[in-house]
């Protein structure tokens, strides 16, 4: 077998997989003062993982995508996180179940 062909094939495969992983991104939303961060709405690319981090000292929150038919989300207590990867384009509104008026939107392009 031709060694140059094997090397080229290996290089192609490793570059291909490398480029796939470079598209995955994690965006952090810090929850503090009963707000979901400062960037609302948040626009991300398909494949992005959004991680919510509860920065409150004593307050718990949730991230509930109720409009999609999800059941009520688990509470995120101080210093805990919750994350979701967005695999499809769309507009994803969410809110905190126990704190009326605390809401956000993820726009996936």
Question: Is 11 a residue whose pLDDT tops 60?
Answer: no
| Ordered structural domains, the chain, with CATH | 24-108 (2.60.40.420)
Mean pLDDT of 72-79: 93
Relative to beta strand 49-54, strand 26-32 is parallel
Percent above pLDDT 70 for the chain: 79
**Average pLDDT for 63-70:** 92
Whole-number mean pLDDT of the chain? 84
Are 20 and 45 in contact by the 8 Å Cβ rule? The answer is: no
What b-and-e string marks burial along 58-93, b requiring 16 or more CB atoms within 10 Å of the CB? Answer: ebbbbbbeeeeeeeebebbeeeeebebebeeeeebe
pTM attached to this predicted model: 0.76
Of the two residues 72 and 67, the one the predictor is more confident about is 67
């Amino acid at each position: 077998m031709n060694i140059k062909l094997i090397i080229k094939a290996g290089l192609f495969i490793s570059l291909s997989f490398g480029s796939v992983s470079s598209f995955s991104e994690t965006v952090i939303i810090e929850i503090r003062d009963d707000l979901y961060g400062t960037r609302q709405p948040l626009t991300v690319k398909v494949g992005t993982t959004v991680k919510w981090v509860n920065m409150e000292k004593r307050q718990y929150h949730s991230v509930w995508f109720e409009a999609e038919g999800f059941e009520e989300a688990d509470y995120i207590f101080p210093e805990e996180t919750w994350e979701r990867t967005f695999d499809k384009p769309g507009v994803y509104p969410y809110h905190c179940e126990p704190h009326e008026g605390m809401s956000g939107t993820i726009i996936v392009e």
